[in-house]
Amino acid sequence: MGFTEKSLSAVIEKVRFNSPLVHNITNYVTVNDCANVLLAVGASPIMADDIGEAAEITAISSALVLNIGTLNRRTIESMIASGKKANEIGVPVVLDPVGAGASSLRNRTVLELLERMRVQVIRGNLSEISFLAGLHYATKGVDAAESDRENNAVTVAKSVAAQYGCTAAVTGAVDTISDGNRTLRIHNGHSMLSRVTGTGCMTSALTGACAAVTRDFLAAAAAAVAAMGIAGELAYESAGNIGTGSFHIAVIDALSRLTQTLIEKRAMLDEA
Amino acid sequence: MGFTEKSLSAVIEKVRFNSPLVHNITNYVTVNDCANVLLAVGASPIMADDIGEAAEITAISSALVLNIGTLNRRTIESMIASGKKANEIGVPVVLDPVGAGASSLRNRTVLELLERMRVQVIRGNLSEISFLAGLHYATKGVDAAESDRENNAVTVAKSVAAQYGCTAAVTGAVDTISDGNRTLRIHNGHSMLSRVTGTGCMTSALTGACAAVTRDFLAAAAAAVAAMGIAGELAYESAGNIGTGSFHIAVIDALSRLTQTLIEKRAMLDEA
Amino acid sequence: MGFTEKSLSAVIEKVRFNSPLVHNITNYVTVNDCANVLLAVGASPIMADDIGEAAEITAISSALVLNIGTLNRRTIESMIASGKKANEIGVPVVLDPVGAGASSLRNRTVLELLERMRVQVIRGNLSEISFLAGLHYATKGVDAAESDRENNAVTVAKSVAAQYGCTAAVTGAVDTISDGNRTLRIHNGHSMLSRVTGTGCMTSALTGACAAVTRDFLAAAAAAVAAMGIAGELAYESAGNIGTGSFHIAVIDALSRLTQTLIEKRAMLDEA
């Protein structure tokens, strides 16, 4: 397929070289970690959610990440204004539909966002992306429910990618990423990542940084997902037996030390 | 009294087994830690505070934790809507009256919340719970003021428990927990816990997880308080001499590694 | 000039002795770290941003820190109410104009805040303080843009100090602090501090704690800036090679262990 570990490491390297400004309209639970992982890989985070400045901040940024983790009416309009501005000037938009399927407000909002703007990448767990594919499953918190695992992530990713003309990344034990034409699977990561809040949000933030430096959004999403997966593996090796607090910090440490060589050596991807 | 260390460890074990979804409407200062301690003990956190979804999220949760740390008008109505829904469907409610006594808004709001819903557990420091008992003391930040320590935590806990028909937990150097009939004291913990922001909030979040798995709310509150106290001791042993940043992480590490055996071995409780 | 390392260490010592309550109206990205660094140095943080209580909380506090990192309309009015109350009763005000220059809303708001209240200290990077000096440079995220470095921080600090009758602190590789009469430079710090979000916000929070215990606001700002710089150096020595996550935690560790002796030994200041 011509898509190799080098394709991913090149994206991460370009993030460090270009240091893109990534505008995040995100939740207040994991926002600090999102900013810190962006800095860890060499990007520059900016968080701004007031309608009075959102679009203006998007206009000076190289990517926009919309995360509905602590959705509220005040910021929905900011998300729309920023998304429209991004579309207008060619800034890529990453959508993290946190908890889609869990409440009517989230469901309505995600669909509204997708109606009012074009997004380049959607990243979520199987439960959230299934909702977008029109398959409604109960979600449990922000993690994929047990029952959803039986669904076929490949089908769901392809379906959402086709429906919205974007790249869809379904993250889980195995990550599935599709742009409708090509579908990749990434086998990196560690189950301990699900014991720290916001590792999904952080992956979406990293996807923003990667989407800022390449127009190949499949590669961008795959690079971000692989980077987080490898960081999880390295963190488990260094801090897994200490506890989830140290593991959390070790994930950020690992992201800040990721090298092209390390990514090429550890990334495990195949075509679905 | 038939209340032993095993009663507490059984609750924590049940949290890990059931992995209850805990809905938090809380402050933006310590929310990440609240989510991470819930994950550390095996529960699932969900944070949602918009009036458009708050009650709906409560309806799919096994406990509701209301924390007024960064109180604002937008979320007060969400707290009330969620609290009413919780009462209606039998979901236990934990209230953390952060800073009660420090401003009229906090005072009015706490009393309004208690008027509009039934809460199963109230957890705060002596200054905050004294306010609810009708004893007004000046508060200093979110920590119990020196002068308040002389008050009798037992009297205050019993009084609030009786007045609101709930379990009241007054945490401090010694923790006092009463349901009006039984009153326990827990002698775990370490003073360094007061040098990290949000250890009180985290205890309230853990109380939510515990209240989700047992109808004995005295046991639930005691289990959460003991778990945090023991985690503080273990964290001090491993990281106390490094500094408050490492201690903070070590508290989460310790919670993620708590076992029934460890709780039974280290918990120090007696009847007041 | 009679201004020595001992002047700085004395301020930090007084913070630990007095444990001032510091009211922060700040952003939701770095607020947890701001609270934790205040606790680390022995101060007491309180975060309250609702118009219904902001001024009342300021009234019981010893310093007010206004940080526009995630500016929104709801909290601008709270900042003004708190600032006016602070001026009225003699509570020092620290302003952190995060991202000034990056959007019209930020620009307008910073100028409005400075028109509606007197501030005792303004702390920002060169890009932000340049904006206040009437020199408009593009800002990149919340970090000083490369191009701005050529500007003369001394000129900018003196100009803003004179214009607003306050102490202005321009932090960067070398920190410049001026009250219009005296201008100091601090040569502590480490470049890794710019790879963790919020080290500027944390410095502003520490400045609030220092301003609470002395009316010499030049000394207050210099003490806070030196403390953060020294903490950055110590953190780099202990955790620099592990990664940015561990470095972040080590900064807080170092602040919690700062002694007068350590500050006097490591502080590097001169007059500009």
**pLDDT value at position A151?**
53
CA C212 to chain centre: 13
Residue B173 covered by a domain: yes
**pLDDT value at position C105?**
96
Helix (H) or strand (E) run with residue C253 in it = helix C244-257
The whole-number average pLDDT for the span A155-180 is: 96
The residue with greater pLDDT, C43 or B142, is C43
**pLDDT value at position C151?**
53
Residue C110 covered by a domain: yes
pLDDT over 90 at B246, yes or no:
yes
pLDDT over 80 at B7, yes or no:
yes
pLDDT over 70 at C214, yes or no:
yes
Cα-Cα-Cα-Cα torsion A181, A185, A191, A197, nearest 10 degrees, comes to: -30
**pLDDT value at position A147?**
41
The domain spanning residue B43 has which CATH number?
Answer: 3.40.1190.20
**Residue A6 pLDDT grade (very low, low, confident, very high; cuts 50, 70, 90):** very high
pLDDT over 60 at A139, yes or no:
no
The whole-number average pLDDT for the span C133-160 is: 66
Residue C272 covered by a domain: no
pLDDT over 90 at A145, yes or no:
no
Residues in CB range of A169: below 8 A, 6 or more apart: A121, A122, A123, A124, A157, A175, A176, A177, A203, A207, A221, A222, A225
For residue B259, the tally of other CB atoms under 10 A from its CB is 12
Rounded-to-integer distance, Cα C244 and Cα C153, Å: 27
Whether B147 has its CB under 8 Å from any CB of chain C: the answer is no
Is residue C93 within 8 A of residue C119, CB to CB? The reply is yes
Residue B267 covered by a domain: no
- Domain range for B170: 5-262
Closest CB from C73, C142, C244 relative to A46? C142
> How many structural domains does chain C have?
1
Q: What is the mean pLDDT of chain B?
A: 93
Rounded-to-integer distance, Cα C82 and Cα C76, Å: 10
Residue B272 covered by a domain: no
Is residue B177 within 8 A of residue B193, CB to CB? The reply is no
**Is there a contact between C53 and B106 if contact means CB atoms under 8 Å apart?**
yes
Count of H helices and E strands in chain C? 11, 9
Whether C31 has its CB under 8 Å from any CB of chain B: the answer is yes
pLDDT over 70 at C144, yes or no:
no
Is residue C11 within 8 A of residue C177, CB to CB? The reply is no
Q: What is the mean pLDDT of chain A?
A: 93
**Is there a contact between B71 and C60 if contact means CB atoms under 8 Å apart?**
no
The whole-number average pLDDT for the span A217-242 is: 98
Rounded-to-integer distance, Cα A34 and Cα C8, Å: 34
Whether B29 has its CB under 8 Å from any CB of chain A: the answer is no
pLDDT over 60 at A150, yes or no:
no
pLDDT tens for each residue of A32-59: 999 999 999 999 999 999 999 999 999 9
What is the SS3 assignment for A9? Answer: helix
Looking at A127-131, A190-194, A195-199, B12-16, which range is the least confident one?
A127-131
Which residues on chain B are in Cβ contact (under 8 Å) with C237? none
Which residues on chain B are in Cβ contact (under 8 Å) with A28? 28, 31
**Is there a contact between A245 and B251 if contact means CB atoms under 8 Å apart?**
yes
The whole-number average pLDDT for the span B51-63 is: 98
Looking at A5-14, A19-28, B137-146, which range is the least confident one?
B137-146
**Is there a contact between A250 and C244 if contact means CB atoms under 8 Å apart?**
no
Rounded-to-integer distance, Cα B150 and Cα B132, Å: 17
Q: Best residue in A36, A72, A201 to probe B by mutation, most B CBs within 10 Å?
A: A72
The whole-number average pLDDT for the span A242-258 is: 98
pTM: 0.95
Residues in CB range of A25: below 8 A, 6 or more apart: A47, A48, A49, A54, A64, A65, A66, A67, A75, A78, A79, A82
Which residues on chain B are in Cβ contact (under 8 Å) with C252? 243-245, 248
Rounded-to-integer distance, Cα C224 and Cα A215, Å: 44
Kind of pairing between the strands at B183-186 and B269-271:
antiparallel
The whole-number average pLDDT for the span A173-180 is: 96
**pLDDT value at position A144?**
53
Is residue B194 within 8 A of residue B235, CB to CB? The reply is no
pLDDT over 50 at C44, yes or no:
yes
pLDDT tens for each residue of B162-221: 999 999 999 999 999 999 999 999 999 999 999 999 999 999 999 999 999 999 999 999
**Residue C139 pLDDT grade (very low, low, confident, very high; cuts 50, 70, 90):** very low
Is residue C131 within 8 A of residue C154, CB to CB? The reply is no
Q: What is the ipTM of this complex?
A: 0.94
- Nearest Cα of chain B lies from the Cα of A272 at a distance, in angstroms, of 31
Q: Best residue in A256, A258, A262 to probe C by mutation, most C CBs within 10 Å?
A: A256
What is the torsional sign of CA B163, B110, B170, C21?
negative
Rounded-to-integer distance, Cα B25 and Cα B10, Å: 27
Q: What is the DSSP string of A141-198?
A: TTB--GGGGGS-HHHHHHHHHHHHTSEEEEESSSEEEE-SS-EEEE----GGGGGSTT
Which residues on chain C are in Cβ contact (under 8 Å) with A251? 245
The whole-number average pLDDT for the span A51-78 is: 96
Rounded-to-integer distance, Cα B238 and Cα A196, Å: 21
Is residue B167 within 8 A of residue B121, CB to CB? The reply is yes
**pLDDT value at position B272?**
84
Q: What is the CA radius of gyration of chain C?
A: 17
Whether A165 has its CB under 8 Å from any CB of chain B: the answer is no
